Structure 1
Amino acid sequence: MRNSITFFGIFGLVFTSVSCVSYDEDVSLSASQASAFQQFKAHVIPKLKRDFEKEDLYLLQFLRAKKFDVDEAERFILRESKWRTEQGFDGIHNEDWSDMECCYPVFLEGVDREGKPLLIFDIGEWDIRAAVVAGKADRMAKWMSKNYDLARMRTRELGKEGKNVTRFSLIYDMKGFSATSISAASLPFYATAATALDQHFPNMFDKLFQLNSPPIFETVVQVMRPLMSYGTQSKSMEIGGRSGHPKLGSGSTPHKSPSDTVATKRTSIIKNYFTYLV
């Protein structure tokens, strides 16, 4: 399924689109794919220690990422499992993240029109330069992955509740992004951020919306884009910023609003997002 987007930019009309993956596409397999999946499960389940790693959907997400090449997918998921151990992910959500929560806001609020969880990074408020100067670039990258994992967990919870949800949606709000956040020292952080979804959360997000991107951020985009898989690039869409305001095609419907109890800042971001997409 694809949603058509029309951008009204300063140079006229520009047509683009963002790929969306349906629940049926995520859970349906051809006969050959089903055979590969059974082979993959038999190979890797005895080698995985976490319960969620052994679940069909999680396994299938890694197998799809390698186009049903069982050997490649096995190396991929075992490498990811090792990374989770090395990064301390088994206890990551119980760590003290106050140094990140105070200055690098991220919200997991509400769902989109298809019931997918919305993960919002308020990047415009992030002082990336300060983190890099303080030697916290790696911790900031881990903070991003920690929140991706939180969205993965929420998606899993919804599935267990009987919802037809297999992925989450992402919003990066760039309003307020400063040129001081771009430097040679910060580029490794952006490179890590660009590859995190493909390397550690394959096929786990559906859409990535970038709001209010300033022209200066194109420098970062040029670094990040070649590092992303085609699938990740095809699910990314810029809203506002350089290209102006888009409108969805006539077949679109409004997204569901998140809870009224959310903080003013996140409410503003989501309202802005809904305004573009309704």
Structure 2
Amino acid sequence: MAVVPQEAINRFGALMEGVDEPMKRTFKNHVYLLPFVHYPSDPFILQNIHQGYPHESLIRFLKAREGDVAKAYKMLCDCLKWRVENNIDGILAKPIVPVNLYRDIRDTQLIGLSGYSNEGLPVYAVGVGMSTLDRASVHYYIQSHIQMNEYRDRVVLPAATKKYGKLVSKCIKVLDMTGLKLSALNYIKLMTTISSIDDLNYPEKTLTYYIVNAPYIFSACWKVVKPLLHERTRRKINVLSGCGQDELLKVASLPCSFFLRRCH
């Protein structure tokens, strides 16, 4: 859905007036309200979802539900309940300990900020093929993933917004399939859970997924994974030839080391 009607945004904003107090406590004031948009009379807007841009957040949830206001409202309310029930606002203050466990997770769940696109969007490299996800329980890998999402939304995206002088609310992900094995399907349940968390609670946060270094077994794995992904996620996936250097350099400024590790 390319354009969200203003009338739908206004109706959505009006519905948000009725959210419960526990959810409002995850909101904050002093936000940047945009003209001609109806917002709750109580000036509390979700603290860690919109980062001062409630208009953009309403649009994200509307796009995730094809402009259906009632469905978008339910989706956002469910998201707020999830945040309250799981204390997501406080998750960055809950480190994974001991430190050896944290290091094991980071060594087997490979993701890192690698640069920025020409439009200022953060570019994350995800080592899908080399991520074994086998040194901790599912709980800790999910916690780690949510923490990375929250750090992106609270720190990385606001910093990019300030740096580039415009709202930066999305990122780009480069999924490196180097080392991919059929055994990766052993973790399909975990990957599906993580994908579901992103779809339901962090909608429209990734502009494009670029897949690089896809080995011959990628097609077999893709046949299993593809049906589990939401259609709007599948539409964002772009499989590049080889390491994708030529295509990626057209859209992003990435260091030489990024390609040295991926292009052979």
Aligned to 2:70: 71
Query: More displaced, 44-53 or 118-127?
Result: 44-53
How far is the alpha carbon of 1:75 from its aligned partner? 0.6
Write the deviation string for residues 48-93 of structure 1: whole angstroms up to 9, x where unpaired: 4332446221121001211221111111011111222333321222
Q: 1:94 to 1:120 in 2, by over 3 A?
A: farther
| Contact persistence 1:191–1:223 (CA under 8 A) | no
What is the number of equivalent residue pairs in this alignment? 229
How far is the alpha carbon of 1:254 from its aligned partner? 5.6
| Contact persistence 1:190–1:224 (CA under 8 A) | no
Pairs within 5 Å for 1:160-199: 160=162, 162-183=165-186, 186-199=187-200
Q: 1:100 to 1:86 in 2, by over 3 A?
A: farther
| Contact persistence 1:210–1:237 (CA under 8 A) | yes
- Structure 1 segments unaligned to the other structure (5+ residues): 1-20, 259-266
Write the deviation string for residues 199-239 of structure 1: whole angstroms up to 9, x where unpaired: 22211110101222223343432232122222211111123
How far is the alpha carbon of 1:109 from its aligned partner? 3.0
Aligned to 1:155: 157
Aligned to 2:13: 41
More strand by share: 1
How far is the alpha carbon of 1:152 from its aligned partner? 2.9
Query: Could you tell me the percent identity over the aligned residues?
Result: 21
Question: Could you tell me which of 103, 109, 122 is aligned with 1:104?
Answer: 109
SS of corresponding position for 1:123:
coil
Aligned to 1:10: none
Question: Could you tell me which of 257, 260, 266 is aligned with 2:254?
Answer: 257
Q: 1:165 to 1:233 in 2, by over 3 A?
A: same
Confirm or deny that 1:84 pairs with 2:87.
no
Q: Which amino acid aligns with 2:188?
A: L
User: Could you tell me how far apart the structure 1 residues matched to 2:247 and 2:211 are?
Assistant: 15
**Greater RCO (Cα-Cα under 8 Å, separation 6 or more):** 1
SS of corresponding position for 1:215:
coil
Pairs within 5 Å for 1:1-278: 29=4, 33-45=5-17, 47=19, 48=24, 49-50=26-27, 51-53=47-49, 55-97=54-96, 98=102, 99-128=104-133, 130-131=134-135, 136-153=137-154, 154-160=156-162, 162-183=165-186, 186-240=187-241, 248=247, 253=250, 255-257=252-254, 268-270=257-259
TM-score by length of 2: 0.73
